[in-house]
């Protein structure tokens, strides 16, 4: 998916919601447990219910890899289902890959060719050769970890080097390897007051923003400092939507939560 197509969908839906798919067998509704592939059936129901209100889906690989081969099969089935039935939705593989050149090239091949994801989250710690291989695929995106919402981000990302926070250097440097048409950055919603400084470095790049909802981030604050003329944000919500109910009405309740967030987002469109 290219940038124009993503922007068009955001503006037509008046939503910039990304629904995170983090399936946990311990949290799945009990009536799904006896299904041949309960994770896939759960994801499929969530996707169908929330698709009208979101523009993106983000399966988190860890929640599939934890179940071994069967989990990876569920992941592949989920990705294929989304691509076949909702091709207009921006599909993010939340895999946080990042390794030296040859390895990154194979990760890119796996997620962009075999699984046909539109984007993959990338860890830039190993430098340019851990990011650039993901930028060689047409209409595919690297979503680079910039400033994350977890408490541990203070250990490295927010440390000052020569009077400047490391995350600013990372964002500034990575932005030079790609463009706003093939690179985004992860910036956590719990750091909303820092968006203004980030926007001075990357005024037009899209930001993938986790942390709104269950983690305490504020949509209003994120939009205050992070919005661009093209919106420029994908707000991810996972637990607050997909686990809105643990009963047989789980998909209905997920749709209600997604609609609620989309309705809040609609207010930012003039």
Query: Of residues 11, 44, 83, 96, which has the active-site annotation?
Result: 96
* Residue 169 bears catalytic tag: no
Tokens of 78: 């989920």
As a whole number of angstroms, the distance between CA 96 and CA 21 comes to 15
Distances from the Cα of 132 to the Cα of 53, 101, 105, 143, 156, angstroms: 33, 8, 9, 12, 22
What radius of gyration do the chain's Cα atoms show? 18
Residue 164's contacts (CB-CB under 8 Å, 6 or more residues apart) are: none
128-166-232 Cα angle (round to 5): 75
Residues designated catalytic: 96
């Amino acid at each position: 998916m290219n940038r124009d197509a993503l922007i068009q969908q955001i503006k037509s839906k008046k939503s910039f919601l990304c629904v995170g798919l983090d399936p946990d067998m311990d949290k799945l509704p009990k009536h799904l447990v006896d299904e041949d592939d309960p994770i896939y059936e759960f994801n499929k129901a969530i996707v169908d219910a929330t698709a009208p209100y979101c523009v993106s889906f983000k399966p988190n690989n860890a929640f599939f890899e934890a179940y071994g081969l069967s989990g990876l099969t569920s992941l592949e089935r989920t990705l294929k289902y989304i691509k076949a039935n909702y091709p207009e939705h921006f599909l993010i593989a939340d895999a946080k890959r990042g390794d030296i050149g040859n390895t990154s090239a194979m990760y890119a091949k796996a997620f962009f060719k075999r699984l046909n994801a539109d984007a993959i989250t990338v860890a830039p710690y190993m430098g340019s050769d851990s990011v650039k291989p993901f930028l060689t695929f047409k209409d595919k995106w690297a979503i680079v970890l910039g400033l994350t919402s977890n408490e541990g981000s203070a250990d490295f990302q927010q440390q000052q080097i020569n009077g400047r926070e490391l995350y600013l250097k990372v964002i500034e440097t990575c932005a030079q390897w790609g463009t706003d048409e093939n690179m985004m950055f992860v910036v956590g919603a719990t750091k909303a007051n820092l968006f203004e400084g980030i926007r001075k470095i990357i005024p037009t790049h899209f930001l993938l923003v986790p942390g709104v909802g269950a983690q305490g981030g504020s949509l209003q604050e994120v939009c205050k400092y992070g919005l661009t003329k093209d919106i420029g944000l994908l707000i991810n919500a996972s637990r607050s939507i997909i686990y809105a109910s643990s009963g047989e009405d789980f998909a209905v309740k997920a749709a209600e939560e997604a609609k609620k967030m989309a309705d809040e987002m609609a207010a930012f469109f003039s």
